[in-house]
Amino acid sequence: MESIIQSFVTFLGVYAAAGIVFALPFSFWGAPRIDPAAKGSPLGFRLLLLPAATALWPLLLIKWIKALQT
Amino acid sequence: MSTQYTAVIWNREKKRYDRYLAGLIGLFLLAFCGLTLALQPEITAETLIIRATGTTALLLLHLTLMIGPLCRIDPAFLPLLYNRRHLGVTTFFFGLIHGVFNLIQFHSLGNVNPLVSLFTANVHYGSLSNFPFQVLGFGALVILFLMAATSHDFWLKNLGPKAWKTLHMFVYLAYGLLVMHVLLGVAQAEHSPVAIGFLGMGVVTVISLHLAAAFFGQRGQFTAAAGEDFVEVCGLADIEDKRAKVCLIGKENIAIFKYDGKLAAVSNICKHQHGPLGEGKIVDGCITCPWHGYQYLPENGCSPPPFTEKVSTYELKLVGDRIFVNPRPHPEGTRVEPVEIPRKHE
Amino acid sequence: MTPSLRRRHRLIWVVSAFLLPILFIAALWVIPEPAIDGDFNPPTARPYSEPIGQASTEAFSGVLRRDGNLPGWQLEVQLKEHLAAASIQLYLAENGQRRRLLGHLQAPGSYFFHFFPEAAPSTDVLELQLYDGIKRQALKELRLPIQGD
Ligand code: HEM
Ligand code: FES
């Protein structure tokens, strides 16, 4: 039990760390890529994207890659 | 209605909404802390913060959950819906303060990671009375976080309305988790009939409002099976001027508007967050969504420039004073000549 | 809202309308034995006149008193150290098992509780237990011999 939870929490930590690394570039370059309406938007808006970008990074990474391919 | 995103769109109504919200929270905190200090003068500051923020968050969650069905039962409540997302984000922040203080208070003393401690400090997962209720609070906090984090229109658009709505429906799960968080937590430990009584009232109110809205909230909606070309919906007199009649034909949800001696039909579903356009009014010649005010021209379902939202349009027919609609939608933004109402009917 | 979304909402709330009340009542059902009188004693309570037992540990001490003119017993508990628990409950115990809840403690300080001798599991010794109502575990114990008449 203890070790399952320990690994789960470690996984959460790694996931969140990766998310934080991903979120900044995403909010500045990725967001305008997947949604042209986000081009040239103010700093406040970009900072507001960070929490969700951190949490949902695998999904957004896929969307970003798809947007780059088109 | 966005050509470009900004962090938070604040206008006069939203500011007023937020002022009322802040006032309400301030009053509640004052009353809660005052009463607690009067009844338990020896309470510590940490405990007071934990209790005040947890209780505020749960109160706000009740309000958030009551607004939707209230609006469906009586449109007079629509102003409450207008800025519900600020209410939701505020709920999350109070829950977050509560959760973080609890983690510090109960789980940061030992040498295990506070999160591990949260799951392992109490392992009576098989018991009801001794259930590790904090884990329930944690689950709810994660849901509230995801909702608050994705509450901006950018996420609605880019995650897609379907995924977004599904995610936000988890608020109901969060609500259930929190009710049990309190019932298996404080209620087991403190035997406080007042707290249990308030929670019971809250649960009964939320459930009955949702059931009432689900079963009686369809006031006057016309429903028919699909198949025919034109379906008779209602009489001219059944629609007030600058308002709409909503009809559900097969899978098509249609709003028929009457304005300036004309009739026009568009999809009832707003492009923003699927608000019910047919419950809105014509303002300055535009259909105006009752939820957050997105606007569409009745004759072609397009938002006025520079905006780019479009909804589907439908053909109408007037026979005598009976209104008929063709439930086959035109592609979004297709112009359909409005039906002129002959003079004698006006 | 689309019709299918409305149907989903309706389904969720019909299910919740059954489930939540059942869980609610089940949770109330399993609440441990309720507190006996004296839960919210005013902190300024005066000690009764005649001590009939006392004991002390590093964490807390207790004095049991009675008063010829007043019914029942009075227990004064002095919490000496800060315990990291938001809800410290004081129980009368029997061989480590919690029997009756006397009330709650908060910060270090002096607390008074009132109860009738019938509530005590034994008349020779008063077994006290401080219990963490959040983590659901015993914190401290104290055995307080009662001097009979
Ligand atoms: C990590 C997440 C959470 C943890 C660890 C946690 C922990 C706790 C604990 C230990 C208590 C008992 C406090 C006491 O007896 O003084 C409590 C009570 C409570 N919690 Fe939470 N909680 C969490 C999240 C939440 C959230 C998100 C909400 C509401 C939105 C919430 C609402 C409440 C309420 C209403 C109470 C009862 C009032 C009180 O604090 O005494 N909790 N929680
Ligand atoms: S749903 Fe937000 S404006 Fe229509």
* Domain edges within chain A: 2-69
Q: What is the structure's pLDDT at B28?
A: 96
What is the percent of chain C with per-residue pLDDT over 70, rounded to a whole number? 87
Q: What is the structure's pLDDT at B225?
A: 60
Residues C64 and C117 in one domain: yes
More reliable by pLDDT, B200 or C66: B200
Let me know if residue C39 belongs to a domain: no
Residues C4 and C77 in one domain: no
Q: Could you tell me the pTM of the whole model?
A: 0.79
Residues C70 and C102 in one domain: yes
Residues C126 and C61 in one domain: yes
Non-local (6+) Cβ contacts of B256 within 8 A are B233, B234, B239, B244, B245, B246, B247, B263, B264, B265, B278, B316, B323, B325
Residues C83 and C55 in one domain: yes
How far away, in angstroms, is B273 Cα from ligand 2 center? 5
Ligand 2 atom with the smallest distance to the CA of B289 is 4
Confidence of residue C104 (pLDDT cuts 50, 70, 90): confident
More reliable by pLDDT, B195 or B98: B98
Confidence of residue C31 (pLDDT cuts 50, 70, 90): confident
Residues C15 and C67 in one domain: no
Nearest-Å Rg of the Cα atoms of chain C is 21
Tokens of B171: 């608020």
Residues C69 and C97 in one domain: yes
Q: How high is the mean pLDDT of chain B?
A: 85
Residues C64 and C7 in one domain: no
With beta carbons less than 8 A apart as the criterion, state whether C73 and B176 touch. Answer: no
Q: What is the structure's pLDDT at B219?
A: 52
Asked if the Cβ–Cβ distance from B214 to C85 is below 8 Å, we say no
Is residue C40 predicted with pLDDT exceeding 60?
A: no
Let me know if residue C42 belongs to a domain: no
Confidence of residue C43 (pLDDT cuts 50, 70, 90): very low
Confidence of residue B257 (pLDDT cuts 50, 70, 90): very high
Residues C23 and C60 in one domain: no
Q: What is the structure's pLDDT at B227?
A: 61
Let me know if residue C134 belongs to a domain: yes
Confidence of residue B308 (pLDDT cuts 50, 70, 90): confident
Q: Residue C14: which domain range? A: 1-31
CA distance C3 to C8: 9
Question: If you average pLDDT over each of B50-54, B110-114, B125-129, C124-128, which comes out highest?
Answer: B50-54
Q: How many residues does chain C have?
A: 149
Q: Map residue B326 onto helix, strand or coil.
A: strand
With beta carbons less than 8 A apart as the criterion, state whether B141 and B173 touch. Answer: no
Residues C23 and C57 in one domain: no
More reliable by pLDDT, C20 or B217: C20
Let me know if residue C45 belongs to a domain: no
Q: Which of residues 6-65 of C touch B (CB under 8 A)?
A: 6, 8-10, 12-14, 16-17, 19-21, 23-24, 26-28, 30-32, 34-35, 39-40, 43
Question: If you average pLDDT over each of B47-61, B240-254, B309-323, C68-82, which comes out highest?
Answer: B47-61
Residues C71 and C7 in one domain: no
What's the total number of domains in chain C? 2
Is residue B333 predicted with pLDDT exceeding 50?
A: yes
Is residue B61 predicted with pLDDT exceeding 90?
A: yes
Evaluate: CB of B84 within 6 angstroms of ligand 1: no
CATH of the domain at C90: 2.60.40
Residues C58 and C27 in one domain: no
Let me know if residue C115 belongs to a domain: yes
Q: For residue B32, what are the CA distances in angstroms to B27, B51, C9, C143? A: 8, 9, 33, 37
Asked if the Cβ–Cβ distance from C32 to B43 is below 8 Å, we say no
Q: How high is the mean pLDDT of chain C?
A: 82
